[in-house]
Every structure is written in structure tokens, then in C-alpha cells.
Chain A
Amino acid sequence: MSGLSDALNLGKTSLSTHQTLIDVTGNNIANVNTDGYSRQNVDLSTVPALNFRGFQIGRGVTASNIQRAEDTFLSRQILDKNAALGEQSAQATPLAELETIFNLGDGNLTSKIDQFFDSWEQLSVTPDGTVERDTVLQYGTLLTDSFHNISQDLADLSQQVDDALTSKIGDINQKLQQIVEYNERIATVESTGISDNASRDARDSLLQDLSYSLGIQYYENQDGRVNVQLSTGLPLVSDKQAFSLEAIPTTSGSKLQLDLGTATRVVDNQSLNGEFKGLVSLRDEFLPKVRDDLDKLAYSLATEVNALHAGGTGLDGSTGKAFFSTAPSSDPSASPWSGASASIEVALTDGNQLAAGQSAASGDNRNALLMAALGSSEVIDGTDSFGSFYGKMTSYIGIESSQNQLSVSGLEDSMVQLENLLDAKVGVSLEEEMINLIQYQRGFEASAKLLTTVDEMMDTVLSIKR
């Protein structure tokens, strides 16, 4: 039987459904500025019709589910871009730091090298001058100090990069754990057929964060859980379990490994992306190369100066003496210059030992002349003088840094583009919501009107019999 009370009931479903619509719209508006929030919309369906007097008569409307908007393609693209952006952004600060170490200012290493060879030239003018001899020793010490400072700065920078790495690990492990928790919640809630939109939004945000720092891949199971892995397939989250990253301190910086419960696996740079890749490649590839060049410079300088110096004779008749000393590396497989920039010292203590001449005669300046000429000879690999080698290093660092700046700004641009595109699909547009609001309000008003009408009809029916 389809009576007035049925119409009342129908009006009731319409009222309450429109209320849901208004609620969801309100929630969308409320979250217009929430990061990672996806616009939600309500799936409406008619209540199954009943056969009455040979007609299928509808029985109102119901909200069957609340869905969130998504765009998997764009989300994946952002995930990839995030990893690339993370890699470049993580390098920006250390590279800027490196640029201040290898600066173009007046006090750079080349100027110290020049001063040192200048002092030999001065000595060649006054080979028996005590002041000139002491000056050579002093500039020699200043030069070795500069090498020590740069070497120490590089070591500090390496350490800072390492600290940045290890400090992020705790955060990452926590995020992996949270993903497992969201996985469980989503699986439980969605088994009843209702979408767990808030948890999915939160989990997506976590995945984006992880991609930025680690560069991950993920895929979703039938039950709504996601599995997360590194680009080489090492699992981070598998079904109900999260595996944690660990940093093992070694002499050459922390090594990463993954605790798989039953075993541990080393995480090499190949498996990494995002910030971690940026930091690890800086620490393990770029900085060691810069340090190697610096060591090579210090070692070549010491070796060449020593060879010339040993061939000369001091005022006190001493000969065969080395001007600089460098400690040989303890590692036999390392290059001969390994560690030279940290260990280079002036070996002479007395100005009279300076071999300005090739005889002990006070006016003999032959060796000082050779030494002054060494300053501008191309002795490193036969192509570079000491000063120009440093110039090349600076240039190399400059190129790396400027490329990094370009990449960061380019990636930031494309991130803005992609996020805007994604927003167009899944973001909250106030205009849209406001218009929806009017639409739903009208619907609500009409349902109320229906109820009043039915009510009046009831009155009419009741007033038939007085």
C-alpha cells in the first residue's frame, strides 16, 4: 500500500540525505586549506522501488557512500617528482656551505699559495735576509693552516650530512609504522563497504613524505592495504608489518641497513632516492672527490717544493732537507696523497735551513729563483699550476651547485604545476562547493515543502469527517 505515510517517509529520506549532502559540502569547505585533503562527494541512490498496484513506485533517496576524489596517475607522477625534488633539495644547503669554503674572496687558498711563492721571490732578492727567511717560514705555516682549515671544514660538512641522514631515520620508521596502522584501519573499515576517506588521505600524505625522503614505490592490495618498497624492491611495509631502517656508524659515515626481522639487508645508494640519495651521494661521492683533489693539491705542493728544497743548500750548509712534511696514509691501498691536506706541516724550524741557494754562500739565490718559478709552473698532471688547480676545483663545485639550484627551481616549478593539476581533480573549489550548497539547500527546501504538502493533505483527509 502506498499511502500518505509512505510519502512522509519518502520526504524524510530526502531531508536526511540532503542534510548529509550539506554536511559533506560543509566538510569540504572546512578543509579547503587542509594539506592532502581530497574533496569528498556523496553517492546517491534511490531506495529500491516497491511494486504497488502494478507500478514500481520509488521510495525516496539514500546516501550509499561518501567517496573521495582521486587521480592515481597524477599522484604517481607527484610521487616521482617528489623523490627527485627531495634528492636535489637535500643537497642545496651542503653545496652552499661548500661554496663558502671554496670561496672567491681575498683569503682563498690560491692567495695563500701565491703568498708562499711570493715570499720565495722576496728571498731571492735578499737571500741572506733573516726577515725574508722568517717570512717564508711564516707564509709556509699560513699555507698549511689553510689546508688544515679546509680539510677540517670538509670533514665537518661530511659529518653534518651524516647527522642529517641519521636524524631522519627515526621519523621515517615512525611513518612506516603509521602506514601499517592506517592499512589496518582502512582494511577494517572498508570491509564493511564504507570508504575510509580520512585515513586514505592521511596515508597518501605519508607516502608522499616518504617518497620525498626515501623515494619509494607502493602498490595497493585488494583489501586496501598498501605495500611499500624501495626502488630495488627491498620491502619497507609488507601487509601488516613495517620494517625499520637502521644507521650503523662506520669510520666513513653511517651505513644504512634494513631490519627484516629474521635478517638484515644493506641498503646501498642504488636502492635510495629522494633526500637520502642526495645526501648519501654527496657524502660518499662528491665530498670525497673534493677532498681527494685537495689532498692531491697539498701532496703535489709538498712533493714539488721538497724536491727543489732538498736539492738546495741552507745558509747553515744543510742540504737534502724537506720543507714540508706529510704523514703517509695508513691504508696501503689508498692513493699516496690520501690525507695530505690534514697532515701537511712545515718541517723546518730555523730560517737558516731554508735552501735559498745551491751553495751556502749568503748571496746565492739560485734555488729561491727556482722555487719562485715553481709557483706558476704547471706541475699537477702536467697541465695545472697549484693556483689553477684550486681554481678548477672551485669551478667544479660551482658547476655542481649551480646545476643543483637550476634543478631545484625547475622541479619546484613542475611540482607546482602537478599539484595544481591534481588540485583541479581532487582539490576543494570554493565556487563549486558554494554552488553545490545552493543546489542542496534548494533540494532540502523542496523536501521540506513536500513534507508540508503531505501534512496539509493529512489535514485535508482528517477534515473529511467532522
Chain B
Amino acid sequence: MKTTLTATYRTLQSQVGRASARMQQSLETAASGVRLNKPSDDPSAAASVISTESQIRDSERFQSTISTAASQLDNLDSVLDEVENLMVEAKELVLAAGNGSLGEADFEAYSQQMKMLKEDAYALANTQIEGKYLFSGYEFNATPFPDTEDPSLYQGDDNHVELQIGPGQKVVTNVTGAELFQGQGGGINILGLLGDLEQNLGSMDMEQALSRLDDLEVGADQVRGYRSKMGTSAVRIEEAGVRMQEFTDSMETKLSSIRDADIVEAYSDLAQQEQALQAALNVTAKISQLSILDYF
């Protein structure tokens, strides 16, 4: 077979062109550190990149919800702590009043103290955080217990606010006023109890007041019960946060393994392509040195 000048240069040109295109690609990969710049670079990985990025965004979103839920439960816990302390104080007050003989003025003082405790309880029941009532279910804007003289009046609803803290994982972040303070579902109406005690002390009916000591204990347990229930939620949230962080980390690793270039490989590739191009150019130079015209 005869070789023509055109054929030789055509082949060289195609080789040099191919080599420099490959070098350009390696250069891009090495410089950007990214192996996948466009879908055709690896079509099967393109869909994984998009879905992995989407999952990372998902879990970042869940993490932000988790931190919000955690701080809400923190707030709730400190309020419940105060309610619990208040119950203990009320019990001590009744015990102190029942201890020994007291005069009318003493009873008046005890009654006043009990009234203050009751008012504190109402204040706690009407706690607002960021302008929203904590114990009114979905009715963020309705004062749950508007009338300190009417413990059975509740303006909130019985709904529990749920937040999504993971795929398919929801957690309740509130206790309704009806459950906690009115004892809805077989509990004790704490607000009513405090009001009754205030009246008993005011009317110096010690017998009646002492008979409610058990109720005070049951009420305190009611508060503790909800507190521990919400505490369990808080633990769940914390665990979900840790899990979500781990998930995000593993997704980041996955994304990086699909999309990012192995830097060592990228550099050695680059060196290899550089050599290939150099070789192609060298050969081209050699060819032009060899000519039949030199022999005439």
C-alpha cells in the first residue's frame, strides 16, 4: 500500500486533535476537581448526582426543623418545670396551713398566697412564645384560659402540633391546655383545684383543704407525666438529629465519590495525556524532516 502525503498528515492531524482534546478534558477535570461536568460525562451517574443532591437538601431541611423542634420542646420543658414547682409549693402551703392552730389573719395570708399561686398557674397556662400561646393547640392566637374565675373555660383546641423531623417521622411538640391544666381524659383540673383551695383557705375550711392534698399530688404527677412524655420526644428529636447528620455525611461522601475526580488519578491522567500529545507532535515534526526532495 502506498502512503501519500495527504494520508500521513490526515492521520497525524486526527491524532494530534484527539490527543489535545483528551488533554483539555483532563486539564478541566484536574483544575475543577469535578469529574462530572455535564450529563454525558457519565449518564448513569447523572441521575444519582441529582437525587443525592436532592436528598442532601432534604436532610438539611430536616435538620433545621429538628433544631426548631428541639428549642420549642426546651421552652415547653422549662414551663412545665415551673408548673411542677408550683404544684409542690401549693402542697407545702396547704400542709403549712393545716399545721397547728392559726388565726383568721393567718388564713387570710395563706389564702392570698394560694391566690397568687393560682394566678401564676394561669399566667403559665397562658404562656406566649414569639407571640403564640403555648397551650392552645392550633389556636395560636386564642388566650387558652381567659378567665381566672372560670377554670372550665378553655379557648384552645385539642390538636397536637406535629413537626416532620425525618422522612416519615413526625414528633408532637405541644401539650394542650385541656390535657395539662384541665386534666382532660381522666385527670385533674389543676386550675380548678387551686381555685378551690384558695376558697377553702379563705373560708378557713381546713378539713376540706387537707382532703385535697391527694388531688394536689395527682395533679403534680399529671404535670410530671406530660413533662416526661415531652422529654421522650426531645430525646427522639435529638437522636433524629444525630441520625440525620450521619445521613447527610454519608450522602456527601456518596456525592463526592460519584461526582468528584480522584485528584491523584486526575493529575496522572493529565501527565499521561501531556506525554501523548508531546509524542504526537514529535512524530509530526519528524515526518516533515523526511522528504524525498532532499535526495535530488
Q: Residues of A at under 8 Å CB distance from B?
A: 32-33, 95-96, 99-100, 102-104, 108, 110-111, 114-115, 118, 121-122, 124-125, 128, 357, 359, 361-366, 369, 372-373, 375-376, 387-388, 390-392, 394-399, 401-402, 405, 409, 412-413, 416, 419-421, 423-425, 427-432, 434
| Residue pair B50, A398 in contact (C-beta under 8 Å) | no
| Residue pair B164, A121 in contact (C-beta under 8 Å) | yes
| Residue pair A395, B40 in contact (C-beta under 8 Å) | no
Per CB-CB distance, the 7 closest pairs between chain A and chain B, nearest first, are: A398-B39, A398-B43, A361-B138, A391-B50, A401-B40, A363-B138, A402-B40
The B114-157 residues at the A interface (CB cut-off 8 A) are 132, 136-141, 157
Indicate whether B213 reaches chain A with its CB closer than 8 angstroms: no
Q: How far is the CB of B186 from chain A (nearest CB, A)?
A: 25
| Residue pair B57, A125 in contact (C-beta under 8 Å) | no
| Residue pair A128, B132 in contact (C-beta under 8 Å) | yes
| Residue pair B53, A110 in contact (C-beta under 8 Å) | yes
Q: How far is the CB of A361 from chain B (nearest CB, A)?
A: 4
Indicate whether B46 reaches chain A with its CB closer than 8 angstroms: yes
CA distance A124 to B69 in the complex (A): 11
Indicate whether B85 reaches chain A with its CB closer than 8 angstroms: no
Q: Residues of B contacting A432 with CB < 8 Å?
A: 2
Q: Give A128's nearest chain B residue, CB to CB.
A: B140
Can you list 7 A-B contacts (CB < 8 A)?
A121-B62, A361-B137, A361-B140, A362-B141, A394-B39, A395-B44, A429-B5
Q: How far is the CB of A363 from chain B (nearest CB, A)?
A: 4
CA distance A96 to B53 in the complex (A): 23
| Residue pair A111, B57 in contact (C-beta under 8 Å) | yes
| Residue pair A423, B163 in contact (C-beta under 8 Å) | no
Most interface-central of B6, B10, B42, B137 (chain A CB within 10 A): B6
Q: Which of B42, B157, B159, B292 contacts A398 (CB 8 A)?
A: B42
Q: Give B52's nearest chain A residue, CB to CB.
A: A391
Q: Residues of A contacting B42 with CB < 8 Å?
A: 398, 402
Q: How far is the CB of A367 from chain B (nearest CB, A)?
A: 12
Q: Residues of A contacting B2 with CB < 8 Å?
A: 424-425, 427, 429, 432
Total residue contacts A-B, CB cutoff 8 A:
181
Q: Residues of A contacting B11 with CB < 8 Å?
A: 416, 420
| Residue pair B138, A32 in contact (C-beta under 8 Å) | no
| Residue pair A110, B162 in contact (C-beta under 8 Å) | no
Q: Which of A357, A364, A427 contacts B6 (CB 8 A)?
A: A427
Q: Residues of B contacting A366 with CB < 8 Å?
A: 162
Indicate whether B3 reaches chain A with its CB closer than 8 angstroms: yes
Most interface-central of B11, B44, B46 (chain A CB within 10 A): B46
The B16-64 residues at the A interface (CB cut-off 8 A) are 18, 36-44, 46-51, 53-54, 57-58, 61-62, 64
| Residue pair A102, B6 in contact (C-beta under 8 Å) | no
Q: How far is the CB of B60 from chain A (nearest CB, A)?
A: 9
Q: Residues of A contacting B157 with CB < 8 Å?
A: 361
Q: A363-B159, A420-B10 are in contact. Are A369 and B164 (CB under 8 A)?
A: yes
Q: Which of B7, B40, B57, B58 contacts A99 (CB 8 A)?
A: B40
Taking residues whose C-beta sits less than 8 angstroms from the other chain, chain B's interface range is: 35 or more
Q: A125-B163, A412-B14 are in contact. Are A104 and B49 (CB under 8 A)?
A: yes
Q: Residues of A contacting B6 with CB < 8 Å?
A: 32-33, 423, 427-428
CA distance A116 to B143 in the complex (A): 33
CA distance A396 to B43 in the complex (A): 7
CA distance A388 to B141 in the complex (A): 40
CA distance A359 to B158 in the complex (A): 13
| Residue pair B4, A361 in contact (C-beta under 8 Å) | no
Q: How far is the CB of A314 from chain B (nearest CB, A)?
A: 14
| Residue pair B47, A395 in contact (C-beta under 8 Å) | yes
CA distance A247 to B95 in the complex (A): 102
| Residue pair B68, A388 in contact (C-beta under 8 Å) | no
Indicate whether B199 reaches chain A with its CB closer than 8 angstroms: no
Q: Which of A104, A122, A399, A434 contacts B37 (CB 8 A)?
A: A104
Indicate whether B161 reaches chain A with its CB closer than 8 angstroms: yes
| Residue pair A434, B4 in contact (C-beta under 8 Å) | no
Q: Which of B4, B18, B46, B162 contacts A369 (CB 8 A)?
A: B162
| Residue pair A104, B47 in contact (C-beta under 8 Å) | no
| Residue pair A103, B38 in contact (C-beta under 8 Å) | yes
Q: A363-B138, A395-B47, A429-B2 are in contact. Are A419 and B10 (CB under 8 A)?
A: yes
Q: Residues of B contacting A363 with CB < 8 Å?
A: 132, 136-140, 159, 161
| Residue pair A376, B7 in contact (C-beta under 8 Å) | no
CA distance A186 to B214 in the complex (A): 122
Given contact pairs A118-B61, A365-B161, a sample of 19 additional A-B residue pairs in the complex whose CB atoms are under 8 Å apart:
A32-B5, A33-B5, A104-B37, A110-B54, A361-B159, A363-B138, A363-B140, A364-B159, A369-B170, A375-B58, A388-B54, A397-B40, A398-B39, A399-B44, A401-B40, A402-B41, A416-B11, A420-B10, A423-B7
Q: Residues of A contacting B18 with CB < 8 Å?
A: 409
CA distance A111 to B53 in the complex (A): 8
Indicate whether B293 reaches chain A with its CB closer than 8 angstroms: yes
Q: Residues of B contacting A402 with CB < 8 Å?
A: 40-43
CA distance A164 to B68 in the complex (A): 56
CA distance A396 to B41 in the complex (A): 12
Q: How far is the CB of A312 from chain B (nearest CB, A)?
A: 13
| Residue pair A427, B4 in contact (C-beta under 8 Å) | yes
Q: A361-B159, A365-B161, A431-B292 are in contact. Are A391 and B47 (CB under 8 A)?
A: yes
Q: Residues of A contacting B185 with CB < 8 Å?
A: none
Q: How far is the CB of B270 from chain A (nearest CB, A)?
A: 20
Q: How far is the CB of B75 from chain A (nearest CB, A)?
A: 14
Q: Residues of B contacting A103 with CB < 8 Å?
A: 38-39
| Residue pair A428, B164 in contact (C-beta under 8 Å) | no
Indicate whether B65 reaches chain A with its CB closer than 8 angstroms: yes
| Residue pair A391, B51 in contact (C-beta under 8 Å) | yes
